């Protein structure tokens, strides 16, 4: 029986707007949630799920086979450790944790309890990205030289999509600002598209627009160990109506340009431009939501252990290390990008 019984820890914005609909669309079942907030539990009740104020109640639900963790970042570790100890499969939101130490503890917990663990990098499941990956692997770009990503939004001090406090602007809960929130998507996507991770990384950050103490923008540069260059511009200070979700994969024989594919929703466009400048659209399933596909893939791997090779806590830990190294390069870790200048480089990250 393929339908999986899900639990959710942290029934806020992403869980309500994307994961619960994804579970439904995939034909799985949301059995129960854990959330200390009565309004969040009431929202889960409207989805037909039981609400628990504490994790023990969720864990005791035998019908919960897999648990999606979508709390603020600093709470991922405690939830994953408890779920791992109980033998539940876990799909944990990105970033893996608010600190590298917590991410390492998560990797240790899931390894020692031998549970099925994945970080919820939904961009891997967007059909546009799957199409690009397949064509890159088939050699359509020739030698891949660079990946360029813009992934930005507007996040004001009072931003809240589900009536929750804005923990994203508090480094002790989020781990940082726009960089730790948005860059993991692109870093993981590069690994997915190229089949190898970024090895070296550096960053400049800014707190340029908003009156909160975390970075509201960052520019990251990276390189794979075989020499592909990457740039990522992530930001909380970009009006949502501007073009702000763009992915380019460049090679010696052409490039892919994906617009509005990064994010939580289906759709967007992908164009292939060949070495002579001729453009052609790349077809993909415009209706398949990355969250629904993520639920399907995780559920399928839960039933068929051979498919779990697509998931790796160690790989996700490397992505987390890149985030920390990017912040540290800004803080003076050595190298040409190490000297922050004035308020435009201020940030409050403390790993």
Ligand X SMILES: NC(=O)c1ccc[n+]([C@@H]2O[C@H](COP(=O)([O-])OP(=O)(O)OC[C@H]3O[C@@H](n4cnc5c(N)ncnc54)[C@H](O)[C@@H]3O)[C@@H](O)[C@H]2O)c1
Using rule CB under 6 A, residue 75 touches ligand X: yes
The shares of helix, strand and coil residues in the chain, as percent rounded to the nearest 5, are 40, 25, 40
Q: Token digits for 262? A: 């990064």
Both tokens assigned to 121: 């990098």
40 binds ligand X (CB under 6 A): yes
Q: Smaller CB distance to ligand X: residue 42 or 63?
A: 42
Measured between alpha carbons, how far is 94 from 79 in angstroms, rounded to an integer? Answer: 14
Q: What is the closest distance, in whole angstroms, from the C-beta atom of residue 46 to ligand X in the complex? A: 14
Please choose, out of 30-38, 200-208, 241-249, 336-344, the segment that lies near ligand X by the rule CB under 6 A.
30-38
> What span, in angstroms and rounded, lies between the C-alpha atoms of 150 and 243?
9
* Residue 131 CB neighbours (<10 A): 19
Q: Does 11 bind ligand X (CB under 6 A)?
A: yes
- β-pairing, 66-69 with 89-92? parallel
For the bound state, the minimum distance from the C-beta of residue 10 to ligand X, rounded and expressed in Å, comes to: 3
Dihedral class, residue 335 (left if φ above 0, else alpha if ψ from -120 to 50, else beta) = left
| Count of residues in contact with ligand X, rule CB under 6 A | 27
345 binds ligand X (CB under 6 A): no
Of residues 66, 67, 70, 270, which one binds ligand X by CB under 6 A? 70
Interface with ligand X, residue 81, by CB under 6 A: no
Applying CB under 6 A, does 122 fall inside the site for ligand X? yes
Of 28-36, 225-233, 309-317, 337-345, the window that binds ligand X (rule: CB under 6 A) is: 28-36
Distance CA 69, CA 8 (A): 6
Candidates 37, 47, 200, 248; binder of ligand X (CB under 6 A) is 37
Q: Cα–Cα distance between 127 and 336 in angstroms, integer? A: 38
Contact positions vs ligand X (CB under 6 A) = 9-15, 34-37, 40, 70-73, 75, 93-94, 120, 122, 161-162, 164, 167, 181, 264
């Amino acid at each position: 029986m393929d339908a999986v019984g899900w639990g959710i820890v942290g029934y806020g914005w992403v869980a309500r707007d994307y994961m619960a609909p994804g579970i439904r669309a995939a034909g799985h079942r949301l059995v129960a949630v854990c959330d200390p907030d009565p309004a969040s539990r009431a929202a889960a009740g409207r989805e037909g799920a039981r609400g628990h104020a504490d994790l023990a109640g969720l864990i005791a639900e035998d019908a919960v086979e897999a648990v999606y963790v979508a709390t603020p970042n600093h709470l991922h570790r405690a939830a994953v450790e408890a779920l791992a100890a109980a033998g539940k499969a876990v799909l944990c939101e990105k970033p893996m944790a608010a600190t590298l130490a917590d991410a390492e503890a998560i990797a240790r917990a899931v390894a020692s309890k031998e549970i099925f663990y994945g970080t919820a990098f939904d961009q891997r499941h967007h059909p546009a990205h799957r199409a690009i990956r397949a064509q890159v692997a088939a050699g359509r770009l020739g030698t891949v030289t660079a990946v360029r990503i813009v992934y930005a939004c507007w996040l004001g001090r009072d931003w809240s999509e589900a009536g929750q406090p804005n923990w994203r602007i508090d480094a002790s809960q989020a781990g940082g600002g726009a960089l730790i929130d948005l860059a993991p998507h692109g870093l993981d996507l590069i690994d997915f598209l190229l089949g190898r991770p970024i090895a070296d990384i550096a960053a400049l950050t800014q707190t340029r627009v908003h009156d909160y103490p975390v970075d509201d923008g960052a520019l990251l540069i990276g390189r794979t160990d075989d020499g592909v260059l990457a740039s990522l511009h992530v930001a909380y200070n970009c009006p949502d109506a501007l073009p702000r979700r763009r992915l380019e994969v460049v090679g010696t024989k052409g490039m892919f340009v994906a617009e509005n594919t990064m994010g939580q929703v289906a759709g967007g466009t992908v164009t292939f431009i060949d070495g002579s400048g001729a453009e052609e659209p790349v077809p993909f399933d415009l209706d398949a939501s990355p969250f629904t596909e993520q639920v399907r893939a995780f559920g399928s791997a839960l039933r068929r252990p051979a498919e779990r090779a697509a998931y790796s806590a160690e790989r996700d830990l490397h992505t987390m290390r890149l985030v920390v190294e990017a912040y540290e390069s800004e803080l003076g870790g050595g190298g040409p990008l190490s000297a922050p200048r004035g308020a435009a480089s201020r940030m409050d990250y403390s790993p």
